[in-house]
């Protein structure tokens, strides 16, 4: 058979040169083909999407820049000109900018909170950069010395030559930042304690933690704020009066602590039982086991959740305006009722300014949490 078979053998001596991929699948055009115009439905969606984006962007550019009014003394600058409505009334924000930043803080004392911001940034930035050295000292300064400095600078100390600025004069972004940062600093340790309490083997402590957490999570923040501003004075002896700014702080901190506790509990539950057993086998006490083994792993797991709670807390500080504090939202809202600046676009401008300010803080925090999550994601890297 082999002799009969005429074997036609054909083979190449060398490899064919590789062909370039068809131009329609590479480069910008290929990408657009795949992601934007793969079929008629996709093409339609692309055009609808582009049209929506165009509507938003063109409106925003026109309103905020092209037809906006940047300078002016009073409402006359921002009234419709020749029957044509003008855009954003930035002159209003400009005129009130100082008030938006610090409420009624005396103008000659403004350097005090500016200095505080500067020190805060100097202490905070190295703490946020993972590679920066001296983390322990840094944290000690930020959480130990800084609050003291903040109190001295913001409230004042006549013995040091700093006149007292009553908290009723605080407001604007300053007050928002004070409430948010105190809330953040108190709620995290408190939340960790309640999370540990909820996972505790001791039935009474566990029960009390559950009641605390579920109570605060079950009621809206606004009722908590009403409670802290109306009921807290009733709870205290007659001769003790709590400052008007401290009252909502108590409410905000406890409220955030309950949410924090649930986030931390999620992390604690994700730690394998072997870790607990190993720590106990090493003879560690409860607090050492938690502090050295469990919490570092658990907190690392829930960083996104913690930052989300911080973001929520930061946004929720705006609610104190409802109980009559002049935080950033409250002071803008009260400035809007000024007839001197009453124009059709004042409110929209002020809200745009507010939205941008809040958005910058919250978006910054969320980006940082994504960065930290990637940075700490060491266990499963391949």
Partner 1 sequence: MSTAARAAIRQAPEAPEELRARQRRLVLVLALYASSFILFWWAASAFYYRSYGGLWADLAGWVGGILSALVNFEGGFFVWLGRIVVAILSVAPLFAAIFFVGMGYRLARWLRDEHPRPASANPLFDRHFRGIFSELFVFTALAAFIWWITGNTVENLDRLGKPPGFEFLNNTAGFGINQVLFVDYTETSSYGKALLVGVLNTLVLSFTGIVLATIIGFIIGIMRLSHNWVISKLAAGYVEFFRNTPLLLQIFVWYNVVLKPLPGPRQSLEIGSVFINNRGVYAPKPIFTDAWWFVVAAFVIGIVASWIIARWAHRRQMETGRPFPVLGAALALVFGLPVITWLLVSLFAGSPVHFDYPQLRGFNYQGGMRIIPEFMAMLLALSIYTGAFIGEIVRAGIQAVPHGQTEAALSLGLTRGQMLRLVIIPQALRVIIPPLTSQYLNLTKNSSLAVAIAYPDLVAVGGIVLNQSGHELEVIAIWMLVYLSISLATSAFMNWYNAKMKLVER
Minimum distance from residue 245 beta carbon to partner 1 (Å):
18
Helix (H) or strand (E) holding 314: helix 303-316
Rounded to a whole number of angstroms, the minimum distance from the CB of residue 280 to partner 1 is 10
DSSP 271: S
Phi, psi of 157 (to 5 degrees): -145, 105
For the bound state, the minimum distance from the C-beta of residue 321 to partner 1, rounded and expressed in Å, comes to 7
CB closer to partner 1, 94 vs 285? 285
Distance CA 362, CA 367 (A): 9
Q: What are the distances in angstroms from CA 282 to CA 168, 256, 274, 289, 325?
A: 54, 35, 12, 9, 52
Chain position carrying tokens 């930043």: 101
Answer for the pair 351, 221: CB distance below 8 angstroms, yes or no. no
**Using an 8 Å Cβ cutoff, are 97 and 89 in contact?**
no
Q: Shortest approach of partner 1 to residue 91 CB, angstroms? A: 18
Report residue 210: phi and psi, to 5°: -60, -45
Q: Pick between residue 11 and residue 40 the one whose CB is nearest to partner 1.
A: 40
> Phi first, then psi: what are they for 22, rounded to 5°?
-55, 135
- Closest distance to partner 1 from the beta carbon of 207 (Å): 9
Looking at the Cβ atoms of 189 and 233, the one nearer to partner 1 is 233
What are the residues facing 89 on neighbouring strands? Answer: 69
CB nearer to partner 1: pick between 35 and 94: 35
> Among residues 164 and 230, whose Cβ is nearest to partner 1?
230
Contact between residue 186 and residue 253 where contact means Cβ atoms under 8 Å apart: yes
Give least dist CB 220 to partner 1, A.
4
CB of 188 to partner 1, least distance (A): 20
**Two tokens at 142?**
């930020």
Quick one: 153 or 251, whose CB is closer to partner 1? 251
Footprint on this chain of partner 1 (rule: CB under 8 A): 34-36, 38, 42, 45-46, 49-50, 52-53, 201-205, 208, 214-215, 217-223, 226-227, 230-231, 233-238, 286, 311, 315-316, 318-319, 321-322, 329, 333, 336, 344, 347-348, 351, 354-355, 358-359, 362-363, 366
Residue closer to partner 1 (CB basis): 106 or 189: 189
Helix (H), strand (E) at residue 205: helix 203-218
- If 0-12 CB within 10 Å is exposed, 13-18 middle and 19+ buried, where does residue 266 land? middle
């Amino acid at each position: 058979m082999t002799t009969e078979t005429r074997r036609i053998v054909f083979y190449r001596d060398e490899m064919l040169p590789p062909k370039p991929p068809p131009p329609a699948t590479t480069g910008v055009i290929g990408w657009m083909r795949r992601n934007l115009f793969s079929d008629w439905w996709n093409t339609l969606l692309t055009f609808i999407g582009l049209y929506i984006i165009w509507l938003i962007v063109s409106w925003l550019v026109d309103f905020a820049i092209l037809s906006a009014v940047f300078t002016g003394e009073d409402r006359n600058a921002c009234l419709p000109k020749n029957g044509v409505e003008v855009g954003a009334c930035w002159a209003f924000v400009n005129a009130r900018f100082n008030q938006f930043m610090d409420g009624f803080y005396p103008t000659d004392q403004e350097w005090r909170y500016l200095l505080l911001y500067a020190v805060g940034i100097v202490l905070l930035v190295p703490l946020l950069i993972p590679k920066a050295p001296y983390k322990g000292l840094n944290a000690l300064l930020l959480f130990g010395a800084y609050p003291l400095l903040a109190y001295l600078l913001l409230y004042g100390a006549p013995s040091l030559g700093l006149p007292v600025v009553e908290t009723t004069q605080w407001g604007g972004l300053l007050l928002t930042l004070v409430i948010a940062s105190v809330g953040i600093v108190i709620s995290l340790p408190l939340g960790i304690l309640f999370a540990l309490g909820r996972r505790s083997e001791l039935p009474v402590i566990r029960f009390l933690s559950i009641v605390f957490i579920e109570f605060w999570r079950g009621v809206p923040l606004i009722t908590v704020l009403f409670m802290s501003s109306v009921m807290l004075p009733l709870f205290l002896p007659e001769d003790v009066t709590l400052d008007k700014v401290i009252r909502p702080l108590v409410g905000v901190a406890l409220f955030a602590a309950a949410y924090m506790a649930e986030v931390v509990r999620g992390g604690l539950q994700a730690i394998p039982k072997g870790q607990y057993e190993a720590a106990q086998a090493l003879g560690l006490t409860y607090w050492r086991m938690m502090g050295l083994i469990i919490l570092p792993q658990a907190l690392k797991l829930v960083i996104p959740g913690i930052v989300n709670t911080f973001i929520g807390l930061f946004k929720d500080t705006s609610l104190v305006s409802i109980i009559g504090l002049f935080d950033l939202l409250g002071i803008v809202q009260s400035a809007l009722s000024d007839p001197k600046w009453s124009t059709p676009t004042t409110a929209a401008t002020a809200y745009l300014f507010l939205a941008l300010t809040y958005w910058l803080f919250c978006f910054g925090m969320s980006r940082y949490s994504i960065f930290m999550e990637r940075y700490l994601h060491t266990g499963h890297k391949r």
